């Protein structure tokens, strides 16, 4: 399982756990809903600053991204 897949899966899981819609998450990150959908599906890789913003917004724990 690639780090991209693990990250996108964790983004989706965390967003849903927080009860946020894709629209709400995208707005909070100041990106388009489509761009957020690309990230969440693993179709696109965000830059490092956006990754950090996503982690902060969703409270993603980096330990969950480790290989299993």
pTM (predicted TM-score) = 0.89
Give the HSE-up count for residue 47: Cα atoms under 13 Å, Cβ half-sphere: 3
Average pLDDT over residues 13-36: 98
Among residues 38, 33, 42, the alpha carbon closest in space to that of 10 is found at 42
User: With bands split at pLDDT 50, 70 and 90, how would you rate the model's confidence at 48?
Assistant: very high
């Amino acid at each position: 399982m690639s780090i991209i897949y693990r990250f996108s899966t964790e983004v989706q899981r965390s967003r849903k756990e927080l009860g946020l819609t894709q629209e709400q998450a995208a707005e909070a990150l100041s990106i388009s809903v489509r761009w957020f959908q690309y990230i969440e599906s693993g179709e696109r890789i965000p830059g490092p600053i956006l990754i950090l913003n996503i982690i902060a917004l969703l409270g993603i724990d980096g330990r969950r991204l480790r290989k299993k």
